[in-house]
Amino acid sequence: MRILVDMDGVLADFERGFLEKYRKQYPDKPYVLLEERRNFQVKDDYSEELQPLVKAIYQSPGFIRSLPPIAGGLEALCEMAVLGHDLFICTSPLSQYDPCVVEKYHWVDEHLGRDWIKKIILANDKTLIRGDILIDDKPEIKGLETPSWEHILYTQPYNQHVPSKRRLTWQNWKEVLRV
Amino acid sequence: MRILVDMDGVLADFERGFLEKYRKQYPDKPYVLLEERRNFQVKDDYSEELQPLVKAIYQSPGFIRSLPPIAGGLEALCEMAVLGHDLFICTSPLSQYDPCVVEKYHWVDEHLGRDWIKKIILANDKTLIRGDILIDDKPEIKGLETPSWEHILYTQPYNQHVPSKRRLTWQNWKEVLRV
């Protein structure tokens, strides 16, 4: 199988990286714990007044590159590859692409190694990428094409409400993909 | 139609950008004019001794971002879009990805505008991208899949020898695509 794996919220812990930097920089401002997040985009869980501060955090140089990995994700990726699957990291950059895009490459290089660089696909419309499975935390993935892949939702607090889709986390991916 | 358009050697004049910088930096070294180029990768047209100098030119910061556009390319792209085709810029980064990848985004932003940023697809294996046509100067494009697109070769001196493929340049694209 060709398995496409999203990056932010699936391999790289965007939410934890964000919250740590935000709370450090604005210790007196209100914040939303991961368990309480309800919107896919972190900024949408903050008031209009706080949104510029939120954006400035995740657009800042070094933010993407220094994201911690989500526990079990890198190991799962390598294990799937060993099982003979074709793995690709399929990610959409932030609209403020500098330095986001190059930092995504650095992240993969530093956490998975040089060979994985060739496995990165940067695309805004993931329906244009051919694969059997897409593991992604985004509730709905739309684009120009009917996808060739099945979307398996990577479970996060902000997508709990999405019905009728297969889901997984890096704790249960083997059972789910075996179905 | 969905038309995928390669970047280096099709929209961005990698060869001219390279040769100008190389001759300026190494005025006493031998060089290969575009008309005399025979290999797809510029370094392969230089001696082993000169190859490190050649690579250092195209890997240097600012090189990709400052590439001149190939005459007629940006206009053709916009004209195709106006005709109702879906256009995507489908490009493989240099293996030395920093600063190449972010400079590709800057190039598109500066030459085509912000709306085109979402049309960039960065992928090493272009056979994974779904489209009807791929306009690319690379002689052979291989990957994991049988392509969904027809490869139309963008004619350059270094791909003149490739037989049996439709070809175009930005001077004759309307006639070729009408066929």
- Kindly list the distances between the CA atom of residue B53 and the CA atoms of A51, B4, B13, B59, B68, in Å, as whole numbers in the listed order: 47, 32, 19, 10, 21
Global confidence as pTM: 0.96
Cα separation, A12 vs B131, whole angstroms: 30
pLDDT band of B101, cuts 50, 70, 90: very high
B139-149 mean pLDDT: 96
Q: Which residues of B touch A148 (CB under 8 A)?
A: 130
Supply the pLDDT for residue B163. Answer: 86
Chain A contact present for B115, CB below 8 A: no
B6-22 mean pLDDT: 98
Q: Chain B: residue nearest A89 by CA?
A: B123
Chain B contact present for A121, CB below 8 A: yes
Does the annotation count A6 as an active-site position? yes
Residue B178 has pLDDT above 90, yes or no: no
Residue A63 placed within a domain: no
B173-178 mean pLDDT: 92
Q: Which residues of A touch B106 (CB under 8 A)?
A: 98
Specify whether B99 is located in the same domain as B165: yes
Supply the pLDDT for residue B179. Answer: 59
Supply the pLDDT for residue B139. Answer: 95
Residue B132 placed within a domain: yes
Angle at the Cα of A176 (from A170 to A179), degrees rounded to 5?
160
Establish how many alpha carbons lie within 13 A of residue A115's alpha carbon, considering only the half-sphere containing its beta carbon. Answer: 4
**CATH number of the domain that residue A146 is part of:** 3.40.50.1000
Specify whether A75 is located in the same domain as A53: no
CB contact under 8 A, A122 and B122: yes
Residue A1 has pLDDT above 90, yes or no: yes
B72-81 mean pLDDT: 96
Specify whether A75 is located in the same domain as A154: yes
B102-108 mean pLDDT: 98
ipTM score for this prediction: 0.95
Does the annotation count B6 as an active-site position? yes
Residue B37 has pLDDT above 70, yes or no: yes
* Strand A133-136 to A120-122 pairing: unpaired
By C-alpha distance, which of A65, A67, A99, A88 is closest to B100? Answer: A99
Host domain of residue A47: 14-58
Specify whether A7 is located in the same domain as A18: no
* Strand order across the A150-154 sheet: A167-168, A150-154, A133-136, A2-5, A86-91, A120-122, B120-122, B86-91, B2-5, B133-136, B150-154, B167-168
A20-28 mean pLDDT: 97
A101-115 mean pLDDT: 97
SS3 B119: helix
Q: How many domains does chain B have?
A: 2
CB contact under 8 A, A130 and B148: yes
Q: Chain A: residue nearest B89 by CA?
A: A123
Specify whether B124 is located in the same domain as B98: yes
Residue A164 has pLDDT above 80, yes or no: no
Residue B64 placed within a domain: no
Residue A64 placed within a domain: no
Specify whether A111 is located in the same domain as A83: yes
Specify whether B91 is located in the same domain as B138: yes
Residue B96 placed within a domain: yes
What residue has token string 């960039």? B120
Specify whether B8 is located in the same domain as B18: no
A-B contacts at Cβ under 8 angstroms: 77
Chain B contact present for A133, CB below 8 A: no
B4 and B134 Cβ atoms separated by less than 8 Å = yes
Cα separation, B143 vs A138, whole angstroms: 28
Residue A175 has pLDDT above 90, yes or no: yes
A133-150 mean pLDDT: 97
Supply the pLDDT for residue A179. Answer: 59
Average pLDDT, chain B: 96
What residue has token string 């190039």? B107
Average pLDDT, chain A: 96
Tell which B residues from 49 to 108 touch A, by Cβ distance under 8 Å.
Answer: 86, 88, 93, 95, 97-99, 101-102, 105-106
Supply the pLDDT for residue B10. Answer: 98
Supply the pLDDT for residue A85. Answer: 96
**CATH number of the domain that residue B48 is part of:** 1.10.40.40
Specify whether B131 is located in the same domain as B81: yes
| DSSP run (H or E) holding B22 | helix B14-25
By C-alpha distance, which of A158, A156, A150 is closest to A176? Answer: A150
Specify whether A53 is located in the same domain as A79: no
Residue A102 placed within a domain: yes
Specify whether B119 is located in the same domain as B89: yes
A44-61 mean pLDDT: 97
Specify whether A24 is located in the same domain as A99: no
Q: Give phi and psi for B169, each to the nearest 5.
A: -130, 175
Residue B63 placed within a domain: no
Q: Is the pLDDT higher at B44 or at B163?
A: B44
| Residue A17 in tokens | 């990286």
